[in-house]
Amino acid sequence: MTHRVLMCEPVHYRIDYEINPWMRRSNRVDGARALAQWRRLRERIEDLGVTVDLIQQAPEAPDMTFTANAGVVLGDRFIPSNFRFEERQQEEDHFIRWFRQARYTVETIHLPHYWEGEGDVLPAGDQVFAGYRYRTEYRALDHLEEVLGRYLVRVELADERFYHLDTCFAPLGEGHAMYVPEAFTADGREHIERHFDDLIAVGPEESLRFACNALVVDREVVMNTGCPETVRALRERGYEAVESATDEFIKAGGSVKCLTLMLDAFGPVVET
């Protein structure tokens, strides 16, 4: 689904604060191991023919390595996030500066409505799914629809461990997707089930290894290690799992998809 992503080498990645159920200051990050995991992930993504653009991490922004949360890219336009928590708001200017230097047009969502980019907004063919509740405000999606020029399929999250949509939902293409059923309200599940022909329901153990927090590259699914049932389900449907360890990043509540912002995934604008 993507062939170009933005990543941020985690040279200043650490846990300085606690803004989701995964983060504990007492659970220290092994910096050298995190850097090795990130570099291996980058290699695996590039081996699939994906171009990786890089943004330098600011020392005061330990979560900046989770680039998916920076915003959404639509052609030559970048719509930056309005982060909910003050601890991450300082990332916004760094991402805006990078995209402006790369000659993108920057269009913002009205404050004070918060939303957190590709963490909660994911394309699926000619549709776009948007999660809301914990990090993205419902009303922010009204303006985002105007900016994107398309209707958003809105799904409400129901488990704070899956605080972003991309932690519990992954469109695979061709009518397939992975999801964690318990991470959504009944209405949210109904929306997802209505829009896909075939769904892989990820079980509790592998959902907590962020099996759904995956990057899809054609028929290859780059994902965390230790999810054998999900890998089997993917292979049964003609997909191949490319496993890459992200345990150090799960300490902060992120995995493969959180570490990548897709720069080419949104298709042409469809009139609403």
pTM of the prediction?
0.96
Q: What angle (nearest 5°) sits at the alpha carbon of residue 83, between those of residues 26 and 166? A: 75
Q: Distance between CA 132 and CA 143 in Å, rounded?
A: 14
The pLDDT of residue 271: 43
Backbone angles phi, psi at 93, to 5 degrees: -65, -35
Q: Is it true that the peptide bond before 112 is cis, omega within 30 degrees of 0?
A: yes
Q: Distance between CA 36 and CA 222 in Å, rounded?
A: 17
Report, as an integer, the average pLDDT of 129-143: 97
Active-site residues: which are they? Answer: 164, 258
Average pLDDT, the chain: 96
- pLDDT tens-digit map of 228-269: 999 999 999 999 999 999 999 999 999 999 999 999 988 655
The pLDDT of residue 268: 54
The pLDDT of residue 267: 65
